[in-house]
Structure 1
Amino acid sequence: MLTIKISSLDALPAAAEQVRAAIQGHSIVCFEGEMGAGKTTFIKALCRSLGVQEEVSSPTFSLVNEYRTGQDQPVYHFDFYRLNHPREAEGIGALEYFDSGYLCLIEWPSRIEALLPPDRLLLTLTVTGPSSRELRIEN
């Protein structure tokens, strides 16, 4: 387990670089944290560190957004907050995305727990102050 202290928004790029190194070799990266903890904000910083040029935004209504890294590899960003049942994720082809081998960044993974492969990383963001967070990375 790795814990990263994020003191402010200015510390996000450095934290994203640490996470980028920690996720090497993993394609499924799950983000948990209360509403407003900064999951999407952190994913934006992580995508920037991966060389994503396009706008990174929460796929709250579309469920999945696709971005391209600096090496032209796809990154899939999921937000399953609005799902009522894992079948809804199956309906958008989530299992195919998960099996693709490409990086899948998943917000609210507990909503689709039954669909997730066992080989995944869990990143938990905890609010520690008005603009500070603690990020815990677990296998």
Structure 2
Amino acid sequence: MTKLSIPDLAALPAVAAQVVPLLQGHRIILLAGEMGAGKTTFTKALCRALGVADDVSSPTFALVNEYRDARNQPIYHFDFYRLNDPQEAVDIGAQEYFDSGYLCLIEWPSRVEALLPPDRLLLTLTVTGPSSRELVIGNQE
């Protein structure tokens, strides 16, 4: 388990750069934390660190956005907050995305727990102050 302190928004690019090597060997990345913890904001910084040039935004209503990294590989960004039933994720082909071999960044993974593959990396953001956060990174098997 790795713990990283994020003292403020200005620190996000440096912290995201530290996280990139920790993603090696993982395709399914779960982003957990309470509402307002900064899951989407961190995802934006992480995507920038991975070389995504496109605008990164929350796929709250679309459920999934696709970006391209520096190697032109897809990155799939999911936000399951507004999901009423896991079947909605099945209907958009979430399992095919998860099985694609490409990086999947998943916000609110608890809403689709039964659909998630067993091998995944959990990133948990915890609010520690008005603009500070703690990021805990650990395997979730």
User: Is TM > 0.5 for Structure 1 vs Structure 2?
Assistant: yes
What is the match of residue 8 of structure 1? 8
In 1: Cα distance, 2:25 partner to 2:39 partner: 21
What is the match of residue 72 of structure 1? 72
Q: Note the alpha carbon deviations across 1:75-120, whole angstroms, 9 max, x for none.
A: 0000000111111100000000000000000000000000001100
What is the match of residue 25 of structure 1? 25
Q: What does 1:84-123 align with in structure 2 at a 5 Å threshold?
A: 84-123=84-123
Report the secondary structure of 1:122's partner residue: strand
Q: Which amino acid aligns with 1:8?
A: D
What is the match of residue 42 of structure 2? 42
Report the secondary structure of 1:52's partner residue: coil
Q: What does 1:128-139 align with in structure 2 at a 5 Å threshold?
A: 128-139=128-139
In 2: Cα distance, 1:2 partner to 1:96 partner: 29
Q: How many residues align?
A: 139
In 2: Cα distance, 1:92 partner to 1:70 partner: 26
In 2: Cα distance, 1:118 partner to 1:109 partner: 13
- How far the C-alpha of 1:30 sits from its partner, in A, is 0.3
- How far the C-alpha of 1:137 sits from its partner, in A, is 0.6
Q: Please list every run of 5 or more consecutive structure 1 residues that lacks an aligned counterpart in the other structure.
A: none
Report the secondary structure of 1:62's partner residue: coil
In 2: Cα distance, 1:95 partner to 1:36 partner: 27
| TM-score, length-scaled by structure 2 | 0.97
When the two chains are superposed, the root-mean-square deviation of aligned CA atoms in Å is: 0.5
Report the secondary structure of 1:60's partner residue: coil
